[in-house]
Amino acid sequence: MTTETPRPQGESLQVFKGTFIHATDTSPMETLAPRILGVNGMGKIVFIETVDKEEELSQTWHFQKKNIRVLQQREEFFIPGLVDTHIHASQYPNMGTCLDLPLLEWLVEYTFPVESKFKDLKFAEDTYTKVVKRTLRNGTTTACYFATIHTESTLKLCSIINKLGQRAFVGKVCMDLNNLFPTYKEQLCESVSETRRFVTELTGRMYPLVKPIVTPRFVPSCSSELLQQLGSYANTEDLHIQSHISESRAEVELVKSLFPDCKNYTDVYDKHSLLNDKTIMAHGVYLSNEELKVFHQKGAAISHCPNSNISLCSGLFDARNALNHNVKVGLGTDVSGGYSPSILHAMRTAIDTTKIHGFQTSNYERLSYQEVFKLATLGGCQALGLDHVTGNFEVGKDFDAILVNTSVPNSPFDIFPNDTQEDIFQKFLNLGDDRNMVEVYVAGKKVVPFPNA
Q: Which of Zn ion, ligand GUN, none does residue 217 bind (CB under 5 to 8 Å by kind)? A: ligand GUN
Is residue 265 within 8 Å of 294, Cβ to Cβ? Answer: no
For residue 366, state whether it binds ligand GUN (rule: CB under 6 A): no
Q: How far is the CB of 286 from ligand GUN (least distance, A)?
A: 13
257, burial (CB in 10 Å: exposed 0-12, middle 13-18, buried 19+)? exposed
For residue 84, state whether it binds ligand GUN (rule: CB under 6 A): no
For residue 78, state whether it binds ligand GUN (rule: CB under 6 A): no
For residue 334, state whether it binds Zn ion (rule: CB under 5 A): yes
End-to-end CA distance of the chain: 39
Q: What is the DSSP annotation of 424-437?
A: HHHHHHHH--GGGE
Contact residue for ligand GUN among 176, 194, 247, 291 (CB under 6 A):
247
Contact residue for ligand GUN among 139, 337, 380, 432 (CB under 6 A):
337
For residue 156, state whether it binds ligand GUN (rule: CB under 6 A): no
Which residue, 334 or 398, has its beta carbon nearer to ligand GUN? 334
Q: How far is the CB of 388 from ligand GUN (least distance, A)?
A: 29
Which residue, 252 or 282, has its beta carbon nearer to Zn ion? 282
Q: Which residue type, as a one-letter code, is found at position 327?
A: V
For residue 247, state whether it binds Zn ion (rule: CB under 5 A): no
Q: How far is the CB of 334 from ligand GUN (least distance, A)?
A: 5
Is residue 439 within 8 Å of 449, Cβ to Cβ? Answer: yes
Q: Which of Zn ion, ligand GUN, none does residue 14 bind (CB under 5 to 8 Å by kind)? A: none
Site for ligand GUN in 189-208 (CB under 6 A): none
Helical packing angle, 188-205 and 151-164, nearest 10°: 20
Which residue, 346 or 442, has its beta carbon nearer to Zn ion? 346
Helix (H) or strand (E) holding 401: strand 401-405
Helix (H, G, I), strand (E, B) or coil at 10: helix
Site for ligand GUN in 289-308 (CB under 6 A): 308
Q: Which of ligand GUN, Zn ion, none does residue 111 bind (CB under 5 to 8 Å by kind)? A: ligand GUN
Asked if residue 102 has a cis previous peptide bond (ω within 30° of 0), the answer is: no
Residue 258 CB contacts under 8 Å (≥ 6 apart), including other chains: 219, 220
| Helix (H), strand (E), coil (C) string for 343-372 | HHHHHHHHHHHHHHHHHHCCCCCCCCHHHH
Length of the chain: 453
Contact residue for ligand GUN among 74, 167, 217, 427 (CB under 6 A):
217
Helical packing angle, 421-431 and 343-360, nearest 10°: 90
Q: Which of ligand GUN, Zn ion, none does residue 247 bind (CB under 5 to 8 Å by kind)? A: ligand GUN
For residue 334, state whether it binds ligand GUN (rule: CB under 6 A): yes
The residue count for binding Zn ion (CB under 5 A) is 2
**CB count, 10 Å around CB of 307?**
26
Q: Which residue type, as a one-letter code, is found at position 426?
A: Q
Q: CA angle, 239 as apex, 225 and 118 as ends, to 5°?
A: 70
For residue 332, state whether it binds ligand GUN (rule: CB under 6 A): no
For residue 194, state whether it binds Zn ion (rule: CB under 5 A): no
Which residue, 79 or 305, has its beta carbon nearer to ligand GUN? 305
Which residue, 28 or 220, has its beta carbon nearer to ligand GUN? 220
Is residue 84 within 8 Å of 331, Cβ to Cβ? Answer: yes
Cα-Cα-Cα-Cα dihedral of 15, 76, 446, 402, to 10°?
Answer: 110
Which residue, 181 or 364, has its beta carbon nearer to ligand GUN? 181
Contact residue for ligand GUN among 40, 85, 111, 154 (CB under 6 A):
111
Residues that bind ligand GUN (CB under 6 A): 88, 103, 107, 111, 217-218, 244, 247, 308, 334, 337
Residues that bind Zn ion in the complex, under the rule CB under 5 A: 282, 334
